[in-house]
Amino acid sequence: MAANNEKSSGTVAYINARLLDPASGLDTIGGLLTEGEIITDVGPGLAKKKDAPKGAKVVDCGGKCLSPGLVDMRIEIGDLASTAEAAVSGGVTSAVCLPNTDPVIDDMTVVEFVARRARKLGLVKVYPYGAVTKGLQGRELAELGLLAEAGAVAFTDGTKAVADAQVMARALSYAATFGLMIVQHPEEPSLTADGVMNAGETATRLGLFGIPPEAEVIMIERDVRLAEMTGGRLHIAHVSTAESIDAIRRAKGRGINVTCDTAPPYFALNEAAIGDYRTFAKLSPPLRAEDDRQAVVQGLADGTIDAIASDHTPRDEESKRLPFEQAAPGGMGLSTLLAVALELHHNGHMGLLDVLKLITSAPAGLMGLDAGALIAGRPADLVLFDPEQGWKVDADALGGKAKNSPFDGRPVQGRVLLCVVDGRTVFEPGE
Residues assigned a catalytic role: 311
Alpha helices in 122-188 (DSSP H): 144-150, 165-178
Given phi > 0 = left and psi -120 to 50 = alpha, else beta, which region is 91? left
SS3 63: coil
Tell me the torsion sign for CA atoms 82, 87, 93, 95.
negative
Q: Which residues contact 349 (CB under 8 A, 6 or more apart)?
A: 297, 300, 301
CA distance 424 to 64: 19
From 8, 21, 54, select the one nearest 374 (Cα to Cα). 21
HSE toward the beta carbon, residue 355, CA cutoff 13 A: 21
CA distance 216 to 189: 10
- Which helix (H) or strand (E) element contains residue 383? strand 382-392
Given phi > 0 = left and psi -120 to 50 = alpha, else beta, which region is 240? alpha
Is the peptide bond preceding residue 285 cis, with omega within 30 degrees of 0?
yes
Residue 351, φ and ψ in degrees, nearest 5? -70, 160
CA distance 207 to 388: 41
CA distance 254 to 146: 32
* Residue 130 per-residue DSSP state: B
* Residues paired with residue 92 on neighbouring β-strands, in sequence order: 70
Q: Which residue type sits at 10?
A: G
CA 309 from centroid of its chain's CA atoms? 2
CA 185 from centroid of its chain's CA atoms? 14
Q: Residue 58 burial by CB count (10 A; 0-12/13-18/19+): exposed, middle or buried?
A: middle
